[in-house]
Structure 1
Amino acid sequence: MEDSEALGFEHMGLDPRLLQAVTDMGWSRPTLIQEKAIPLALEGKDLLARARTGSGKTAAYAIPMLQLLLHRKATGPVVEQAVRGLVLVPTKELARQAQSMIQQLATYCARDVRVANVSAAEDSASQRAVLMEKPDVVVGTPSRVLSHLQQDSLKLRDSLELLVVDEADLLFSFGFEEELKSLLCHLPRIYQAFLMSATFNEDVQALKELVLHNPVTLKLQESQLPGPDQLQQFQVVCETEEDKFLLLYALLKLSLIRGKSLLFVNTLERSYRLRLFLEQFSIPTCVLNGELPLRSRCHIISQFNQGFYDCVIATDAEVLGAPVKGKRRGRGPKGDKASDPEAGVARGIDFHHVSAVLNFDLPPTPEAYIHRAGRTARANNPGIVLTFVLPTEQSHLGKIEELLSGENRGPILLPYQFRMEEIEGFRYRCRDAMRSVTKQAIREARLKEIKEELLHSEKLKTYFEDNPRDLQLLRHDLPLHPAVVKPHLGHVPDYLESEVPEPTAQLQAQRKEIQTHSQALLRLLGLSGAEHIVEHRLPPFMDRRGSRAYCTA
């Protein structure tokens, strides 16, 4: 369809309140998926839609859902307040994001349409109280929704009219197959349903048979990633692991990659190794750790979006324990313990104004590459993806290039022009920093964050009132030295050698006492998987407000 014939929001028959909210959000025209899906949804058709990440899929189902609910309330008979819409997503972060989008669109009709997220951080009792008020739309993961259905705090059999399954291709891989089948038994026989997905795989076909009835299939003829005029994709061959750390140091320290960046690695242990390495050079980063509570992870994303810091290190949900069809995630590579099975990052999470995605570790699958790259170049903003490749990974890189070139024809991952010999003078600094990042330092850094969660936990407030000694022990900030930050490494080119002092016997005894009490507290919060980690002091993040996102390649 030509631009002159494109259907605008104002021609879709939407409620004026929705049009005002769309205008406030700065959307002058619908995206391709919105233009095609919204009119069909308003006609009452079931939809199976494939569109790439960042193409506006959430609004493509949220707008018609709100329109249908508003129209029913305005023209239909007066009936009892009940849950009419259900949105299922694979992760808690996506649930929060979907709720936020629906609420923004419902800004001017908030009294008529209420939205509840049952995958939020509140306890079950608080969620039951919210559900007793019968919100119009419920958002959540299949496991949380099913739990409320089984407890009779949520009833849908006589009221549900609209079902949305977002990121449908991930639900089975996150182990929700059985929950979803059980959940469907609690729904009425007739309802309108939308399946939104980035890919059409076997899982989506199985869901189609379970959920949809004579659906309209929208398989939009668009690349899963923006074109080269918006998204530049590069690859750089690193001969060794050391070269990867050296190159990343140079790119960030010399401002060759600027603006807000996401660094992707393949395990949680690698996340902390990279963070502690960069910390040696006064390059502040933050790890998005699935071991931490949902509220903390969302706070990290919020601070990143507000510009408090410019660099987040993350892992793919698929890599953190590699969820397989029909099973919950177990241990990931190299013994990484699976954290929250609903704590996915690579798909759908809305990081704002990301200038660059750096694949420090090569994605495990071509699809994972697409999901990572989809974090940048969103909403017509430019972006860059730079992938580090070892010589042994060339064949795997070829599979990624094959998928990308199959859609666009021609080379996609261009060689990143960088002469390693020009940064050889920094190699000895990187080696020094890498030696400081020991396995023990990584374990201690991980527990440091968990300890802070303990100190601020509402669940442990009463416990600490009864056991003040435990609180004091957690607050006792001992100076440990397994990965000491050396300020002189933050300056280029001056360098002064520094030795790391060994902890005294008294310090070791105090550390052991803290470890013992911390383990007991971890068990109270159900974090027993982190008991092998010990406390470690990390410097605070630098406040980097106001940094403008842009990139230079």
Structure 2
Amino acid sequence: MATLRFHELGVDDRLLKAIADLGWAKPTLIQEKAIPLAMDGKDLLARARTGSGKTAAYLIPIIQNLLQSKMSVSEQAVRILILVPTKELGHQVQQMIRQLTTYCARDVRVADISGQADISAQRPILMEKPDIVVGTPSRALVHMKQQTLCLRDTLQALVIDEADLIFSFGFEEDLKNLLCQLPKIFQSFLMSATFNEDVQAIKELVLHNPVILKLEESQLPDSSQLTQYQIQCEEEDKFLLLYTLLKLSLVRGKTIIFVNNVERSYRLKLFLEQFSIPACVLNSELPVQSRCHIIGQFNQGFYDYIIATDEQSLSDPSEKKGKKPAGKRKGGRGEKGQDSEYGVSRGIDFHNVSTVLNFDFPQSVDSYIHRAGRTARANNPGVVLTFVAHTELPLLADIEEALGGGASQESVLHPYRFRMEEVEGFRYRCRDAMRSVTKQAIKEARLKEIKEELLNSEKLKTYFEDNPRDFNLLRHDKALHPAIVKPHLKNVPDYLIPPSLRSVVDPLLRKRKRRRMQPSSSKVPAKKQFKKTQNPLRTFKYTKGNKKAATKTGAGQS
């Protein structure tokens, strides 16, 4: 456990104030070990689990050293280069730098060149010579070749974040070419969640006599912070169980639902829409700005459920214009049109995630660890629930062994106690919804999303202004209805709720039902009020006066 405080590490007062604003009481283990070494100018190779604070572990000393160097050097230049494997991680690193430099923003300027697709739009930003540049290796290399990014005489430090993904995302050749255009002497940092062959190769290329920090800690938080469950169920039961968990509020708080491919994510989204359960989809087909926007909305609480694919399902890096593929991804071929610089289960900081639900079983031990690392971050508790098919039991055994469990030891992924026979009454509803989610519905849902992205694209705005006919054709194209939503599936009848779950089900859901079934007296329809007060057969009263009047009338008539 960390014993030092940030002020004991010799950090600038402006940084300390920003750290206090972020609510960090004390450094994590990786921060306590790495910050003093980095401030002394050492090269670092650091391995620490996802969510342990690796980003701040290199940013704090980098900003500290930059502030000190700027006291003696007046010339503005790019002095720090941070390489990341994904655009989302680049955006996140930039945001963290801005938070840490809140009180010294005039002295430290940062530019993220990983997020925007248009290279020409980034040239004016780099011409201002920001102190720190964040980007993917391929984008940084393009700017170096175009001489809009020159580091040969000014670079002080190079950081490669999530280093174990750099080669696997196809950046091997880009990185080698990029290193040829850097000075011979600079400080280097390699930050990674795992040590593999790729990290060893990068270490030999970049580091000079580094200090290796391989912290003796588990790959995931202990059971007091992270609870891990598994439940064995086949395909149809997965949908039934997910419906039950979400609709009856058995899973609460922000939840990330992981699937293994893009089509699967849309199938699950359309399935949940049948029951009026809102969820957003995050996958590699979406433009980077849209992905960052979705992550931002999820973090701000606009959505409770996000359906995400991870890097295991992505394709090999596709060829770019005038450029051969830099390398090959691990994990085989994926779907056409996906962004090779995309990754969800690695690096991205989802805020306050209470549950990670593996709807599809992760394809490797590393993938499970990185998915689980989206929750139980910092000191917050978290839950991981994994659906396991019969054919996936060998993979489950591999994960148990990697996390310290096994046949001779206590299971790390505890069996989730759930009686499927108690929710059989919901099965017909799930089957009804699954019949509506056809292949054609999934195709139309993906087309609809692409159409909306085209209409909202800032990059195509100028084109549509010059070609209004194309804009109107796209805007007034035939409306797509991906799946027919049946209104009766929105509500859950009381008689379908299992007796053992009635005390657990969200009381607000049941309270709303009571209100609908017991209308107040003030809302009685006007027709009923009229019948009650104006019906002459009920209001007529016999009196003596009425009888005399009736007798006289009868005599007169005779």
TM-score, structure 1 normalization: 0.85
Displacement, 1:328? Answer: 4.3
Question: Which position in structure 1 is the counterpart of 2:76?
Answer: 81
Cα distance between partner residues in 2 of 1:94 and 1:466: 35
Describe how 1:105-144 pairs up with structure 2 within 5 A: 105-121=100-116, 123-144=118-139
Aligned 8 A contact 1:329 1:338 in 2: no
Question: Which position in structure 1 is the counterpart of 2:86?
Answer: 91
Cα distance between partner residues in 2 of 1:406 and 1:81: 54
2:46 to 49, 56, 78: 49
- The superposition leaves residues 333-364 of structure 1 with CA deviations (integer Å, 9 ceiling, x where unpaired) of 6x622511111111010111001000000000
Cα distance between partner residues in 2 of 1:214 and 1:331: 33
SS at match of 2:353: coil
Question: Structure 1 residue 168 and structure 2 residue 163: aligned?
Answer: yes
Describe how 1:395-544 pairs up with structure 2 within 5 A: 395-405=394-404, 410-476=410-476, 478-493=478-493
Using the TM superposition, name which of 92-101 and 400-409 deviates more: 400-409
Aligned 8 A contact 1:162 1:192 in 2: yes
1:149 to 144, 151, 155: 144
Question: Which position in structure 2 is the counterpart of 1:529?
Answer: none
TM-score, structure 2 normalization: 0.84
Distance 1:220 1:338, change over 3 A: farther
Question: Which position in structure 2 is the counterpart of 1:306?
Answer: 300
Displacement, 1:327? Answer: 2.5
Displacement, 1:266? Answer: 0.4
RMSD (Å), alpha carbons = 2.1
Q: Counterpart amino acid of 2:45?
A: L
Displacement, 1:326? Answer: 6.2
Using the TM superposition, name which of 472-481 and 153-162 deviates more: 472-481
Cα distance between partner residues in 1 of 2:207 and 2:78: 20
- Give the gaps of 5 or more residues in structure 2: 319-324, 496-558
Displacement, 1:125? Answer: 2.0
Question: Which position in structure 2 is the counterpart of 1:515?
Answer: none
2:196 to 201, 204, 211: 201
Displacement, 1:170? Answer: 0.5
1:259 to 241, 253, 256: 253
Cα distance between partner residues in 1 of 2:330 and 2:30: 36
Question: Which position in structure 2 is the counterpart of 1:282?
Answer: 276
Question: Structure 1 residue 19 and structure 2 residue 16: aligned?
Answer: yes
SS at match of 1:87: strand
Aligned 8 A contact 2:316 2:340 in 1: no
Question: Which position in structure 1 is the counterpart of 2:310?
Answer: 316
Cα distance between partner residues in 1 of 2:482 and 2:453: 22
Aligned 8 A contact 1:54 1:378 in 2: yes
Cα distance between partner residues in 1 of 2:117 and 2:315: 26
Distance 1:479 1:462, change over 3 A: closer
Q: Counterpart amino acid of 1:19?
A: L
Question: Which position in structure 2 is the counterpart of 1:394?
Answer: 393
Q: Counterpart amino acid of 2:286?
A: L
Distance 1:291 1:152, change over 3 A: same
Displacement, 1:475? Answer: 2.2
Question: Which position in structure 1 is the counterpart of 2:26?
Answer: 29
Question: Which position in structure 1 is the counterpart of 2:351?
Answer: 352
Distance 1:481 1:190, change over 3 A: closer
Cα distance between partner residues in 2 of 1:208 and 1:377: 30
- The superposition leaves residues 269-302 of structure 1 with CA deviations (integer Å, 9 ceiling, x where unpaired) of 0000111111111111111022121111111001
Aligned 8 A contact 1:359 1:387 in 2: yes
SS at match of 1:375: coil
SS at match of 1:356: strand
Distance 1:438 1:412, change over 3 A: same
Question: Which position in structure 1 is the counterpart of 2:517?
Answer: none
Q: Counterpart amino acid of 1:351?
A: F
Cα distance between partner residues in 2 of 1:117 and 1:309: 27
Q: Counterpart amino acid of 2:30?
A: I
What count of residue pairs does the alignment treat as equivalent?
488
- The superposition leaves residues 48-89 of structure 1 with CA deviations (integer Å, 9 ceiling, x where unpaired) of 000001000000000000000111112x3x352111111000
Aligned 8 A contact 2:221 2:376 in 1: yes
- The superposition leaves residues 404-434 of structure 1 with CA deviations (integer Å, 9 ceiling, x where unpaired) of 1169963210000000000001111111111
Structure number, greater radius of gyration: 2
Question: Which position in structure 2 is the counterpart of 1:524?
Answer: none
Aligned 8 A contact 1:316 1:345 in 2: yes
- The superposition leaves residues 479-503 of structure 1 with CA deviations (integer Å, 9 ceiling, x where unpaired) of 54451111211111289xxxxxxxx
